[in-house]
Amino acid sequence: MADSIEGLSTSIQALTQEYETVAQNLANMSTAGYKRTLNSFSRELLSRLSENPDTMPEDGAITAISTRDFTQGQLVKTDRSLDMAIQGKGFFVVETPEGPLYTRNGAFQIQRDGRLVDLNGRNVEGADGPIVIPTTISEQSITVSADGSLRSGTTALGRLRIVDFGAEESRLTAKGFNCFSAPADAVSTPATNAAIHQGYQEASNVRSVEEMVNLMVVSRMYETTMSVLRKRQEYARAIMTVANG
């Protein structure tokens, strides 16, 4: 009985985590380059539980392990010269005092001193160092090729550093503002299967219908689990009362 109640308590924690994950995904549906979070039990159980939410593992226990879904989002045309989207595997690199961060959000801007930065004012790394745009060059004149090279007419302005983590991509951890950090021992390489599209943003890969279904299923499962937990707690108290008779 104690193991069953403990299992149900674990399930409640997992369902709460899933609810928060779904809510976060839905809140970022319009965030450029956002990659949705998945919980392991979602993929394994929600398809079955969507038909019968009262169905649970025999011991009542459900556990959740979070993973990040890095699948490609749709490219949306913006026609803004400093909006850039990656088609394929890879990340833009931005500099921070704590080290490099990696993002799929290519909405950039130029600081007054000419530095190419992200929306938080952090330097966007180039293949050969920071990218600095001379003040004599207008933003509208900048063109970006598929390999990330920036030019204005015949003037080369640098090339974006785009990196790929391959199989180690799953080790990246979210660090806010749609950026990820990599473990110190993670190995990145120049992205060879990525193409940059100027004037586009990569949309979030959140699937709204799927997330709404998950939200409804999780809510129903939570209610069911709480009801079962209350009944088992009442049964346990009744046994204790009889035992202490």
The amino acid at 240: M
Give the pLDDT mean for 59-67: 65
Q: Does the pLDDT at position 224 exceed 90?
A: no
Query: Cβ distance 196 to 145 under 8 Å?
Result: yes
Whole-Å CA distances, 243 to 93, 143, 237, 238, 240: 65, 80, 10, 9, 5
How many Cα neighbours within 13 Å face the side chain of 232?
Answer: 17
Q: What pLDDT score was predicted for residue 178? A: 92
Dihedral-angle region of residue 3 (phi above 0 means left; psi in -120 to 50 means alpha; beta otherwise):
alpha
Give the pLDDT mean for 36-58: 60
**Site of tokens 């556990």:** 63
Give the pLDDT mean for 59-82: 85
Q: What pLDDT score was predicted for residue 43? A: 45
Q: Does the pLDDT at position 245 exceed 80?
A: no
Query: Cβ distance 101 to 118 under 8 Å?
Result: no
Q: Which residue has the higher pLDDT, 220 or 98?
A: 98
Give the pLDDT mean for 36-46: 67
Q: What pLDDT score was predicted for residue 149? A: 98
pTM tops 0.75: yes
**Over the stretch 155-201, which tens digit does the pLDDT of each residue have?**
999 999 999 999 999 999 999 889 999 999 999 999 999 999 999 99
Q: What pLDDT score was predicted for residue 1? A: 45
**Over the stretch 10-28, which tens digit does the pLDDT of each residue have?**
677 778 888 899 999 999 9
The amino acid at 208: S
Q: What pLDDT score was predicted for residue 134? A: 95
Distance CA 21, CA 25 (A): 6
Q: What pLDDT score was predicted for residue 215? A: 86
Q: What is the helix, strand, coil percentage profile of the chain, to 5?
A: 35, 25, 40
Q: Does the pLDDT at position 235 exceed 80?
A: no
Query: Cβ distance 181 to 172 under 8 Å?
Result: yes
